[in-house]
Structure 1
Amino acid sequence: MSGQLECCEREWHELEGEFQELQETHRTYRQKLEELTALQALCSGSIHKQKRRLRDLKHALQRYKRHASQEEAELAQQMSAHIKERQNVFFDMEAYLPKKNGLYLNLVLGNVNVTLLSNQAKFAYKDEYEKFKLYLTIILLLGAVACRFVLHYRVTDEVFNFLLVWYYCTLTIRESILISNGSRIKGWWVSHHYVSTFLSGVMLTWPNGLIYQKFRNQFLAFSIFQSCVQFLQYYYQRGCLYRLRALGERNHLDLTVEGFQSWMWRGLTFLLPFLFCGHFWQLYNAVTLFELSSHEECREWQVFVLALTFLVLFLGNFLTTLKVVHAKLQKNRNKTKKP
Structure 2
Amino acid sequence: MGESESAKKIEEEVGRVVEQAKELQDSAASFISKASADDQSLRNRVVSLDSSIRRLHSLLSHNNHNLLDPKLADKLEEDLQRARCIMVDGDAASFLPPKTQGGFLKMFLGPINVRASQKDIQLKVKEEYNSYRDRTALLFLFFPAALLILRSWIWDGCLPAFPVQLYEAWLLFLYTGLALRENILRVNGSDIRPWWIYHHYCAMGMALVSLTWEIKGQPNCTQKQRGVQLFLQWAMMQGVAMLLQNRYQRQRLYTRIALGKAKRMDVVWGETAGVDGQLWLLCPILFILQGFEAYVGLLLLKTAFIGVVSEWQVFFCGILLVLMAVGNFANTVQTLMAKSRFKAKMKRSKSKPEL
Q: Per the shorter chain, which TM-score range? A: 0.7 to 0.9
DSSP-derived class of the 1:205 partner = coil
Q: Which stretch of structure 1 is more off in the superposition, 209-218 or 26-35?
A: 26-35
- Summarize the Cα distance change of 1:251–1:221 in structure 2 as closer, same or farther, 3 Å threshold: same
User: How many corresponding residue pairs?
Assistant: 309
Residue 281 (structure 1) shift? 0.9
Q: Pairwise CA RMSD of aligned residues?
A: 4.2
CA distance in 2, matches of 1:28, 1:214: 71
2:288 counterpart (277, 293, 305): 277
Kept in 2: contact 1:287–1:307 (CA 8 A): yes
1:155 counterpart (151, 162, 166): 162
Is 1:195 the counterpart of 2:202? The answer is yes
CA distance in 1, matches of 2:84, 2:259: 20
Residue identity (%): 24
How does the TM-score come out when normalised to structure 2?
A: 0.71
Give the match for residue 61 of structure 1.
none
How does the TM-score come out when normalised to structure 1?
A: 0.74
Deviations 1:13-64 (A, max 9, x none): xxx8xx989879866764466446645875798799x69xx7xxx9xxxxxx
Residue 156 (structure 1) shift? 1.0
Greater relative CO, 1 or 2 (CA 8 Å, sep 6+): 2
Give the match for residue 108 of structure 1.
108
- Summarize the Cα distance change of 1:333–1:31 in structure 2 as closer, same or farther, 3 Å threshold: closer
Give the match for residue 144 of structure 2.
144
Give the match for residue 241 of structure 1.
253
DSSP-derived class of the 2:335 partner = helix
Give the match for residue 154 of structure 2.
none
How do 1:199-278 residues align onto structure 2 when only pairs under 5 Å count? 199-209=206-216, 212-255=224-267, 261-263=270-272, 265-269=274-278, 270-278=281-289
Residue 126 (structure 1) shift? 0.4
- Summarize the Cα distance change of 1:149–1:112 in structure 2 as closer, same or farther, 3 Å threshold: same
Is 1:170 the counterpart of 2:177? The answer is yes
Residue 98 (structure 1) shift? 5.7
Q: Match of 1:114, as an amino acid?
A: V
Q: Match of 2:274, as an amino acid?
A: W
CA distance in 1, matches of 2:30, 2:124: 27
Give the match for residue 4 of structure 2.
none
CA distance in 2, matches of 1:41, 1:306: 47
Q: Match of 2:271, as an amino acid?
A: S
DSSP-derived class of the 1:305 partner = helix
- Summarize the Cα distance change of 1:41–1:253 in structure 2 as closer, same or farther, 3 Å threshold: closer
Q: Match of 1:201, as an amino acid?
A: L
- Structure 2 spans left out of the alignment, 5+ residues: 1-12, 152-158
CA distance in 2, matches of 1:240, 1:24: 51
DSSP-derived class of the 1:265 partner = coil
Q: Match of 2:258, as an amino acid?
A: A
CA distance in 2, matches of 1:96, 1:143: 44
Give the match for residue 118 of structure 2.
118
Q: Which stretch of structure 1 is more off in the superposition, 210-219 or 191-200?
A: 210-219
Give the match for residue 190 of structure 2.
183
- Structure 1 spans left out of the alignment, 5+ residues: 1-11, 59-64, 66-70
Q: Match of 2:317, as an amino acid?
A: L
Kept in 2: contact 1:96–1:115 (CA 8 A): no
